[in-house]
Amino acid sequence: MEILQTFLMPSAWLAFLTLVLLETVLGIDNIVFLSIMTSKLPARQQPKARSIGLGLAMLARILLLFGISLLMQLTQPLWTIDANWIRLSITGQSIIVLLGGLFLLYKSVTEIHHKIEGAGTTAHAPAKRNGFIWIITQIVLLDIIFSLDSVLTAVGMVSFNDFGERGALAIMAFAIVAAVAVMLFFSGQVSRFVNQHPSIQMLALSFLILIGVTLIIEAGSLSHFRFFGKEVSEVPKGYIYFAIAFSLLVEVLNMRLRKKVKN
């Protein structure tokens, strides 16, 4: 009954729609990684892998959302280093984000290396590495990292005081489901576009390097890392998305120019 009353409030719908938009934007990097990883699979398995990957992303977000008390504990310092020239408070969240950034960097660099050095080869890696289960496992690992950012954004956007605990959780859960549904709807088109254009694949991998570096910086910010009095600050997400959008626009113009020259 509390949940029904919540969704009769105009402010609840405004919070819901805003959150769906934000969750979808935050999911762009997830879709890019998903497209790169599923491209390794046979064409008939790719839609299934995308659906499972995004389904698990939704599940991870909802589980973290309802385990919000545990998630909040991850923001508490585990241990602190305080010296004259360096200071940081390491938290569970910062460790997870750091590992995610390093993993994303590793995957992006190895994929770029394969595309440059392994061009023309057909059996570039053992079947086990490119198997369906291994691809899904890697997607799940990144889902957990991206889910942290997504859920913390949701918690910051929706007030428990305005809608009550159950009402706020319902808004966030439905918004996450709706955002994943939007991503699932567009994931096929994004994957086909990325797979059909090698230059876009390289650009997407470069985006993942950028996101990986951003996650590492964010881990330093979450740890309140100070070095000789200078504190590491988080890179504003708007800068990242603008850089990605601008680079993509330039590449689209290049693609149109190449097509015009061929004709």
170-175 contacts, C-beta under 8 A, 24 or more apart? 170/3, 170/6, 170/7, 171/6, 171/7, 171/12, 171/15, 171/16, 171/19, 172/19, 172/65, 173/62, 173/65, 173/66, 174/16, 175/16, 175/19, 175/20, 175/23
Q: Could you tell me the end-to-end alpha-carbon distance of the chain, in angstroms, rounded to an integer?
A: 63
pTM of the model: 0.68
The 10s digit of each residue's pLDDT in 105-160 is 888 888 888 877 765 444 444 444 457 888 888 888 777 777 776 776 666 666 55
Return the percentage of the chain with pLDDT > 90, whole number.
0
CA 52 vs CA 7, 45, 55, 57, 110: distances in Å = 29, 11, 5, 8, 24
Query: Mean pLDDT throughout 30-57?
Result: 82
Q: For residues 258 and 121, which has the higher predicted lDDT (pLDDT)? A: 258
